[in-house]
């Protein structure tokens, strides 16, 4: 056990910090906690008695090597290393460890997977799929239109309040990762879907519940705030309309938003700002997607490209 308290007490403290100070999403909170607990169990098994202040980079590398032997994917290993880096940074800030042993450790390399992007026709099918006149259909149309119009994350969407929308400018203030606020834009289609939802559907959903109106933009069938998981279920409900077998997610619409902007001539820094990426390198993956789409269109459309394929 750690001289400053047992291993798990500090994991609990870090989780509380993520939730209350850094306002991490529930998915991030669960994932980071699970990854750090797994590392603590590894330490207790291999280095008993285990102390956080005695962890060296070699211990972190041994943990990653064990994950590799268990055939864990490089992407999952990279995520666990990110969790450990954040955790040890927290411990260092509180004087529990002298340095961050995970910082000097590199994750195994893996081939970068390009994000799946919906073609414009597929986006149109998905966005027009909720065709009913009931309150939930109106809500679902507004959700889908807004996700594609703004490129916001699902966790950002579910935290929106009525007061965050500036109807005069068609702008929404979004609270993103790290509690950072940014402005996103929405066009006429999203404006019409939102107006329809707010004119009658939201009040009907609110009336189904017994709680006071807290100002959340999107409500569930019980009149309370919609969850991230519920938004994913909304998209799953209309996925069969694509007829391609691909199961889109909220992030698929975010990827499509960014790629379609770049395809239409938007500059990379504008897309970075709209997505809320801290680093431009994170946004640059979409230039690779656009390049692949350009190749695909060229191969299908250019006569000389077809001749080359035939030969």
Question: Please, what is the angle between helix 228-238 and helix 250-263, to 10°?
Answer: 70
pLDDT reported for residue 267 = 87
User: Looking at the structure, do residues 232 and 172 belong to the same domain, yes or no?
Assistant: yes
pLDDT in tens, 200-258: 999 999 999 888 899 999 999 999 999 999 999 999 999 998 878 888 999 999 999 99
pLDDT reported for residue 74 = 82
Q: Which domain holds residue 56?
A: 7-93
Q: Catalytic residue at 200? A: no
Write the CA distances from 76 to 42, 108, 109, 110, 253, integer angstroms: 17, 10, 12, 11, 23
Q: Tell me how far apart the 2 most distant CA atoms of the chain are, in Å.
A: 72
Q: Catalytic residue at 277? A: yes
CATH number of the CATH domain containing 163: 1.10.443.10
Structural domain ending residue among the three candidates 76, 93, 110: 93
Residue 183's DSSP bridge partners are 173
CB 92 within 8 A of CB 14: no
Select which of 90, 148, 197, 286 is catalytic. 286
Q: Catalytic residue at 21? A: no
Task: Judge whether 188 lies within some domain.
Answer: yes
Element (H, E) at 80: helix 74-93
Select which of 177, 182, 232, 293 is catalytic. 177
Select which of 116, 125, 251, 293 is catalytic. 251
Structure tokens at 311: 């030969």
Select which of 159, 225, 254, 260 is catalytic. 254
User: Looking at the structure, do residues 88 and 126 belong to the same domain, yes or no?
Assistant: no
pLDDT reported for residue 220 = 95
pLDDT reported for residue 129 = 95
User: Looking at the structure, do residues 80 and 138 belong to the same domain, yes or no?
Assistant: no
Report yes or no on whether pTM surpasses 0.75.
Answer: no
Strands of the sheet containing 181-185, edge to edge, are: 165-166, 171-175, 181-185
Q: Catalytic residue at 286? A: yes
Select which of 141, 153, 255, 260 is catalytic. 153
User: Looking at the structure, do residues 215 and 276 belong to the same domain, yes or no?
Assistant: yes
User: Looking at the structure, do residues 142 and 197 belong to the same domain, yes or no?
Assistant: yes
pLDDT reported for residue 108 = 67
pLDDT reported for residue 3 = 42
Task: Judge whether 108 lies within some domain.
Answer: no
User: Looking at the structure, do residues 46 and 143 belong to the same domain, yes or no?
Assistant: no
> How is 235-300 classified by DSSP, letter by letter?
HHHHGGGG-SS----HHHHHHHHHHHHHHTT--HHHHHHHHT-SSHHHHTHHHHHHHHHHHHHHHH
Calpha distance 279→261 (Å, rounded): 18
Q: Which residues of the chain are modeled with pLDDT < 50? A: 1-5, 308-311
Q: Catalytic residue at 177? A: yes
User: Looking at the structure, do residues 204 and 56 belong to the same domain, yes or no?
Assistant: no
User: Looking at the structure, do residues 279 and 198 belong to the same domain, yes or no?
Assistant: yes
Write the CA distances from 294 to 260, 264, 270, 289, 299, integer angstroms: 12, 12, 21, 9, 9
Write the CA distances from 113 to 107, 171, 200, 215, integer angstroms: 16, 32, 42, 38
Q: Catalytic residue at 19? A: no
Task: Judge whether 1 lies within some domain.
Answer: no
pLDDT reported for residue 112 = 58
């Amino acid at each position: 056990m750690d001289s400053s308290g047992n291993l798990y007490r500090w994991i609990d403290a870090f989780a509380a910090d993520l939730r209350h100070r850094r306002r991490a999403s529930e998915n991030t909170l669960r994932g980071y906690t699970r990854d750090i607990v797994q590392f603590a169990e590894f330490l207790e098994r291999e280095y008993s008695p285990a102390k956080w202040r005695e962890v060296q980079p070699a211990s972190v590398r041994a943990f990653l090597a064990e994950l590799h032997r268990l055939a864990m994917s490089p992407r999952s290993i990279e995520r666990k290393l990110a969790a450990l880096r954040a955790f040890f940074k927290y411990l260092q800030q509180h004087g529990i460890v002298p340095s961050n042993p995970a910082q000097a450790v590199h994750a195994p390399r893996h081939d970068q997977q390009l994000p799946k992007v919906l073609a414009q026709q597929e986006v149109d099918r998905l966005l027009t799929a909720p065709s009913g006149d009931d309150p939930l259909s109106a809500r679902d149309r507004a959700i889908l239109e807004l996700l594609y119009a703004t490129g916001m994350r699902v966790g950002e969407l579910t935290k929106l309040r009525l007061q965050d929308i500036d109807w005069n400018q068609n702008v929404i203030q979004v609270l993103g990762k790290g509690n950072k606020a940014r402005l996103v834009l929405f066009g006429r289609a999203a404006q019409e879907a939102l107006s329809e939802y707010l004119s009658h559907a939201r009040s009907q959903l609110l009336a189904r519940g017994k709680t006071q109106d807290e100002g959340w933009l999107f409500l569930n069938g019980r009149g309370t705030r919609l969850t991230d998981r519920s938004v994913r279920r909304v998209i799953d409900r209309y996925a069969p309309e694509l007829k391609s077998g691909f199961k889109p997610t909220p992030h698929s619409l975010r990827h499509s938003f960014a790629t379609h902007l770049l395809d239409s001539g938007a500059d990379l820094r504008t897309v970075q700002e709209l997505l809320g990426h801290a680093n431009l390198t994170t946004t640059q993956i979409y230039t690779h997607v656009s390049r692949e789409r350009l190749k695909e269109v060229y191969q299908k459309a250019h006569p000389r490209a077809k001749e080359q394929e035939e030969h």
